[in-house]
Amino acid sequence: MAKVYATGKRKTAIAKVWVSAPGKGSITVNGVDFEAWLGGHETIKKRVRQPLALTKQEASFDIVASTQGGGYSAQADAVRHGISKALAAMDADFRTILKPYGLLTRDSRIVERKKYGRKKARRSPQFSKR
């Protein structure tokens, strides 16, 4: 039984992902079933399952993930990144499949900090001529 660990990140969300080799295809996030964790967000669910779909391994692995920080969308993308990294570590052939889709690259975009004298990062106060 092979068990691989990988860390996925997106914005301020971090996901610790464990992928177990002989499995039934179950995904558990924060101790909750994947379907219950994301509720009715079908698009986000599909995004999380993308690395498994591309490698045709939907029913081959059991995935356990724990997430922290960020919102549910960023956490889901962090889980996707972690799954991709774990699959690439398991088999070199998976790496060649996932790399062209950009699933192994950490999306480094984060929120820009607020500046002094501004309302947000770049939004300046309303200008009054008189």
CATH number, domain containing residue 14: 3.30.230.10
Q: What is the pLDDT of residues 42-69, one digit of tens each?
A: 999 999 999 999 999 988 899 999 999 9
Q: What is the pLDDT of residues 18-29, one digit of tens each?
A: 999 888 989 999
Give pLDDT, residue 21: 84
Calpha distance 50→26 (Å, rounded): 15
Closest to 91 (Cα-Cα) out of 67, 115, 57: 57
Tell the residue number behind the tokens 């994301």, with chain if given.
Answer: 38
Question: Domains in the chain: how many in total?
Answer: 1
Structure tokens, 3? 């068990």
Calpha distance 115→112 (Å, rounded): 9
Closest to 84 (Cα-Cα) out of 70, 68, 101: 101
- Whether residue 121 is contained in a domain is answered as no
Q: Say yes or no to pLDDT of 1 above 80.
A: no
As a whole number, mean pLDDT of residues 107-120 equals: 95
Positions of E strands within the chain: 3-10, 13-20, 27-29, 32-33, 62-68
Q: Say yes or no to pLDDT of 79 above 80.
A: yes
Q: What is the pLDDT of residues 32-41, one digit of tens each?
A: 999 999 988 9
Domain range for 24 = 2-101
- Whether residue 96 is contained in a domain is answered as yes
What is the percent of the chain where pLDDT is above 90?
88
- Whether residue 111 is contained in a domain is answered as no
